[in-house]
Each structure stands twice: as C-alpha cells, then as structure tokens.
Amino acid sequence: MRTQVGIIGAGPAGLLLSHLLHLRGIDSVVLETRTREQIESTIRAGVLEQGTMDLLTEAGVGARMKAEGALHHGFELAFEGKRRRIDLTGLTGHSITVYAQHEVIKDLVAARVAADGALRFGVTDTSLHGIDTDKPSIRYRHEGEECELQCDFVIGCDGSQGVSRASIPQALRKDYERVYPFGWFGILCEGPPSSDELVYARHERGFALVSTRSANVQRMYFQCDPKDSVDNWSDDRIWAELHARVDSHDGQHVVDGKIFQKNIVGMRSFVSATMQHGRLFLAGDAAHIVPPTGAKGMNLAVADVRVLTNALNAFYVENRTDLLDSYSQTALKRIWRAEHFSYWMTSMMHRIDGASPFEQQLQVAELEYVTTSRAAATAMAENYVGVAAV
C-alpha cells in the first residue's frame, strides 16, 4: 500500500492531521494499535483553547462541540478560604470550551469515516524504515497479515510510549524532563455541577480542581501521592478531602454525588527538542508532555498539527520544503511557552513537600497578585486561552 502521509496514532493529533490533509487533497493512512471502541471510550479531560475551537469549527468538526461542550468565559482560583474569578473573555476577548478529549476523537473518527478515510485499528508490531531517505515506510501487522505502508512522510502521533520518537537515534535527540513528586486523584461522579466554571484550589492539604462533564456528570481531582492506591480512598474520605480543600468561607461548596470512577495519574513535564528526523515528524504527546494544571495537552497537539498541515500543504502545492525544515523550531516556540505556563500553574497551586512556611506564603502572595492585578490576570488569561502562544 502507498499513500502520501503515513500517520501513526489515532489520537486527536493523528486524526485531526489526517482530516485537515484530506481537506487539502492530500492522502493519508492512520494506523492505531487500539480498537475504535477503545479510543472513543477512554475518558480524558478536555479544555479547548480558542484556537483549538476555531480550527475544529473551520475543519467542519465543531458542531457537536458547540452543541454539547460547555463554553466558559472564566475560571475561579480558590485559596485562603475565598474564591476569585479570572475573567477570560473580559481580559482577552476569548473563551474556552470544556469538551472531553474522547468526544473530540469521536467527532474526528466520524469525519474520517464519512470521507472514506483510511483508518487501520488494532495494528501491532509497528516499525519505521527508511525515515532518513525520501522513501520511508511503516511495517505492521493487521488482522493477522504483515503489511507495509510506503509513503512520502511519516508523522508520529503515537504518544510518549510509541515507536515514533524511539525511531530517532538517541544520539540525535535532546530530551528534557521533570517528574513531579505528586499526582492527581481523579473521580467521575453523578450529580449537578458544583460551579458554573472550573475551580482551581490551592490549600495547605494540597491542590484540587472542580470541573464538569455534563449537567449530570462531574469531574474532580485532588493532589495525592502518585504511589497511593484508589483502594485506600472510600467515597466518604474523598468527599471530606474535596470539601476541606475547595469549600469557601462564604458558603460555596462542592456538591457530593455518586462516584463511579476513580483513578490516579502521575505528573511530568517532557519535551523532545528533536521533533523531526529525515522524513519523520513528531506531534502531540510523542514530542511533549505537560502537567494537566494548565490544560495544554490536547491544545499543544492541535497546534503541532496546524503547523504540520501548512508545511505539508506547502510541499505538495508549491514544492516548498522550508516550512517542513523549520517545523521543530516553529512548534517549539509555542511548546516551551505552554510548558512554562503549566509549570508555573503547577508550582503555584500544589503543596510542595518540604516547602518552608516562607515558601508557602509566597504561593499565597502570587495568587493574591494574579487575582488583584489586571496586568497579571491578563497574562494568566492570555496563556490559558492561548492568545499569547507563538
């Protein structure tokens, strides 16, 4: 089989890239190790920046996002028993939409199927060949048969544990990583929203986040030991912890509900500063990871895809290679901005083991400043909605 662009990974990056290329008349094949049911049912959070919302709409896959997503014009920062609002729209003119990642994936899969796009689910034994030549290929097994996909370019959208980044020689890679000593305990529960907008809480017991999935399903997190077990946390203990960290002095409080999912996720920052090698290009989690505090993960993947789409279109339409040659340099400007914002938000909002009382008060002082200074609040808002990104 031959195509123009071989894409490894059917996450938001791979699917959106395939769809955008299709709209420009460029053929692609998407290879995915999981089944369609698995990628559409794996529940992941989703806060969409203004630019992500706009691109999905322009690509014709934003109708359900607009109908079912929750458009937010701000969020709240809770600390010292009070809540203060960051007015995203008032400060930047833009907003965000809370719309889960697996819902974005459903919309993109539906669009690719409707366009007779080539999607291969359940592939195994994937390997890359000839990426440093002009005739790269991807070998894999699908439905018991050995297959080879010949293409002009290979785009690795297969996450941090995929084969794509590992196919770049270690000697040529420049990786940066920070592993955080804490994780997030996440729950999904039945019940009404606890707040009209997201609430980020800083408390001496640790960070907490209150979000929503729908009118009847809520998503909440609180800082925990990443080595802890969900078995150690009864529902009563979970709600007591969330109330302690989020409830405010003026009576605003978390609304309890029936918990039907619990999980613990670790947190790290990672950047592969080598996002391309020969005819291989990395996008999304294959190239970078951010802690979820800044809500940048999926948005960074979409930003990578926007740059790649323009670069590949320039190659096929105008026979230009300059945009492909500068892909890493272009994408990394935005990536490092988002990495810094996510690191800053994480450092300001989380309890840091071993932090002195002096350092703890610095966190409070920073929150006081960012919620009372229009300039500081604007900088936060711009980064959150994506306006300040390069």
DSSP 327-360: HHHHHHHHHHHHHHHHHHHHHHHS--TT--HHHH
Query: How far is the first Cα of the chain from the last one, in angstroms, to the nearest whole number?
Result: 38
Domains contained in the chain, CATH given: 5-71+96-176+269-344 (3.50.50.60), 181-267+353-385 (3.30.9.10)
Q: 72, 94, 277, 288: which one is catalytic?
A: 72
Residue 10 pLDDT > 90:
yes
- Look at strands 199-202 and 208-212 and give their pairing: antiparallel
Q: Is 200 a catalytic residue?
A: yes
Compute the mean pLDDT over every residue in the chain, rounded to the nearest whole number. Answer: 95
Burial label for 231, CB within 10 Å (0-12, 13-18, 19+), is exposed
- Between 36 and 214, the higher pLDDT residue: 36
Q: 19, 296, 327, 350: which one is catalytic?
A: 296
pLDDT for 117-163, tens place per residue?
999 999 999 999 999 999 999 999 999 999 999 999 999 999 999 99
In whole angstroms, how large is the CA radius of gyration of the chain?
21
Q: 94, 99, 292, 327: which one is catalytic?
A: 292
Residue 390 pLDDT > 80:
no
CB 338 within 8 A of CB 294: yes
Which DSSP string corresponds to 138-170? EEEEETTEEEEEE-SEEEE-S-TTSHHHHTS-G
Tokens found for residue 273: 């500063």
Q: How many CB atoms lie within 10 A of CB 152?
A: 18
Q: Is 296 a catalytic residue?
A: yes
Tokens found for residue 304: 């990578």
Q: How far apart are CA 274 and CA 175, in angstroms?
A: 8
Q: How far apart are CA 299 and CA 104, in angstroms?
A: 12
Q: 99, 140, 180, 200: which one is catalytic?
A: 200
Q: How far apart are CA 358 and CA 356, in angstroms?
A: 5
CB 102 within 8 A of CB 47: no
Q: Is 176 a catalytic residue?
A: no
Q: How far apart are CA 102 and CA 290, in angstroms?
A: 18
pLDDT band at 263 (very low <50, low <70, confident <90, very high): very high
pLDDT band at 389 (very low <50, low <70, confident <90, very high): very low
Model pTM greater than 0.75? yes
CB 175 within 8 A of CB 282: no
Residue 194 pLDDT > 50:
yes
Residue 45 pLDDT > 80:
no
Residue 179 CB contacts under 8 Å (≥ 6 apart), including other chains = 266, 267, 268
pLDDT for 195-221, tens place per residue?
999 999 999 999 999 998 788 889 999
Q: How many CB atoms lie within 10 A of CB 322?
A: 10
> What beta strand segments (E) does 230-339 contain?
258-272, 276-277, 280-282, 288-289
**Mean pLDDT across the stretch 48-57?**
96
Q: How far apart are CA 4 and CA 372, in angstroms?
A: 52
Residue 388 pLDDT > 60:
no
- pLDDT for 251 equals 86
